[in-house]
């Protein structure tokens, strides 16, 4: 449904900046009816890719086909099958819910009974039925997001693109929004591509794509991605993180990595971690502040995959910037 082939985008040099490659020969295929999350650290190329898919930017090279239509040759046709929910609000907060929906319907040539039918269908899942005359700026963040999604659903898109749509929502609003989105995606058979760095949002999707520096580092189901780093992992915190890691490598031959203030031993299988933990404590107990065995999550996969390309200390700084 979304086919991206050899996509490259280079931002030209400015007076004080060198040219920068945001996307580097990127290829990605999202099958019809899939829900895919696109993730990556700041500067990974997510925003550039999203802008290109929305028709807001042209790449330096490569092709994109959405629903079989060439995005760059026939952008108007693509707009007819795509709905977009941006990270920044795209509703007029000074207008009512009904007025926002009416304006959007008018832009797509919807009127009369057809508009009413589509509007009511788009609102059926929301909590907005009694709030149509209420101005958007009086709604909670979660309800305002419902307006945005309802607005997009009126055009019955085959493909839905969402850019971190839960940003700023409280945990309950985020859960409700995502629950509704998953339900609507299955009911309507939509293909969904959503950017996110909240890994709890990715556990129930079909596939997760991880970008770094404009390149696709991993793309698979959540289960398969977690299996990349084993069924268990040992995580230690120490008085001297780098020092303990060096001793574990030199004295025990363990392939450990430092991620922030943690020493991680990944790619272990069920039953292997406990004996290893006991050996580590026997030899290094005075140096260890805490030690645990955990099952890898998608956040661990993200750290594992993206840190292979950069030094550990650089990754730790990057993750602090993104609020991890």
Domain ranges within the chain, ordered by starting residue: 2-225, 228-321
Average pLDDT of the segment spanning 79-103: 93
R_g of the chain, CA atoms, integer Å: 23
- Same topology, domains 2-225 and 228-321? Answer is no
- Which CATH code, of 3.30.70.80, 3.50.50.60, 3.40.640.10, 3.40.190.10, is assigned to 228-321? 3.30.70.80
| CA atoms of 128 and 79, how far apart (whole Å) | 26
pLDDT of residue 277: 84
Of 62 and 308, the structure prediction assigns the larger pLDDT to 62
Which of 302, 298, 297, 304 has its CA nearest to residue 322? 302
| CA atoms of 213 and 46, how far apart (whole Å) | 9
pLDDT tens-digit profile of 31-47?
Answer: 999 999 999 988 899 99
DSSP annotation of 203 reads: T
The residues near 88 (Cβ < 8 Å, ≥ 6 apart) are none
pLDDT tens-digit profile of 243-255?
Answer: 999 999 999 988 8
Label each residue of 243-273 as H, E or C: HHHHHHHHHHCCCEEEECCEEEEEEECCCCH
pLDDT tens-digit profile of 107-146?
Answer: 999 999 999 999 999 999 999 988 999 999 999 989 999 9
CB of 21 closer than 8 Å to CB of 8: yes
| CA atoms of 153 and 107, how far apart (whole Å) | 14
Average pLDDT of the segment spanning 82-98: 92
Tell me the backbone φ, ψ of residue 116, rounded to 5 degrees.
-60, -45
**Bridge partners, 236 (sequence order):** 263, 291
Q: Yes or no: is domain 2-225 CATH 3.40.50.300? A: yes
CB of 182 closer than 8 Å to CB of 155: no
Cα distances from 252 to residues 23, 96, 245, 258, 275, in angstroms, run 40, 66, 10, 16, 13
Indicate the pTM of the whole model.
0.83
Question: Residues of the chain with pLDDT > 70: what percent?
Answer: 93
Which two structure tokens, joined as six digits, stand for 137?
Answer: 């700026």
Mean pLDDT for the chain? 88
Average pLDDT of the segment spanning 286-303: 87
| 269 pLDDT tier (thresholds 50, 70, 90) | low
pLDDT of residue 321: 34
| 305 pLDDT tier (thresholds 50, 70, 90) | confident
Of 277 and 193, the structure prediction assigns the larger pLDDT to 193
Instruction: Indicate whether 320 pLDDT > 60.
Output: no
* Antiparallel, parallel or unpaired: β 191-195 and 159-163: parallel
Question: Residues of the chain with pLDDT > 90: what percent?
Answer: 62
Of 132-141, 185-194, 233-242, 314-323, the range with the lowest mean pLDDT is: 314-323
pLDDT of residue 246: 93
């Amino acid at each position: 449904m979304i086919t991206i082939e050899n996509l490259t985008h280079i931002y030209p040099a400015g007076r004080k900046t060198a040219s920068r490659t945001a996307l580097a020969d990127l290829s990605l295929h999202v099958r019809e009816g899939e829900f895919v999350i696109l993730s990556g650290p700041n500067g990974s190329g997510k925003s550039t890719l999203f802008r290109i898919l929305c028709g807001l930017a042209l790449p330096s090279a490569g092709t994109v086909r959405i629903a079989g239509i060439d995005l760059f040759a026939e952008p108007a046709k693509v707009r007819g099958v795509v709905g977009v929910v941006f990270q920044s609000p795209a509703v007029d907060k000074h207008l009512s819910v009904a007025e926002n929906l009416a304006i959007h319907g008018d832009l797509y040539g919807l009127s009369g009974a057809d508009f009413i039918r589509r509007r009511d269908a788009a609102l059926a899942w929301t909590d907005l039925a009694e709030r149509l005359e209420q101005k958007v700026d009086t709604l909670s963040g979660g309800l305002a997001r419902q307006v945005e999604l309802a607005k997009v659903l009126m055009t019955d898109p085959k493909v839905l693109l969402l850019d971190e749509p839960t940003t700023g929502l409280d945990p309950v609003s985020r859960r409700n929004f995502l629950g509704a989105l998953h339900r609507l995606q299955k009911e309507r058979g939509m293909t969904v591509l959503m950017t996110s760095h909240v890994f709890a949002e990715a556990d129930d999707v079909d596939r997760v794509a991880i970008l770094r520096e404009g390149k696709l580092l991993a793309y698979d189901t959540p289960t398969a991605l977690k299996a990349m780093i084993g069924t268990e992992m040992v995580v230690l915190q120490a008085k001297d993180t780098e020092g303990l890691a060096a001793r574990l490598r030199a004295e025990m031959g363990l392939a450990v990595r430092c991620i922030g203030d943690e020493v991680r031993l990944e790619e272990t299988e069920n039953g292997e971690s406990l004996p290893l933990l006991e050996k580590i404590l026997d030899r290094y107990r005075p140096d260890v502040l805490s030690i645990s065995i955990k099952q890898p999550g998608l956040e661990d996969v993200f750290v594992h995959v993206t840190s292979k390309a950069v030094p550990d200390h650089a990754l730790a700084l990057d993750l602090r910037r993104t609020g991890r």
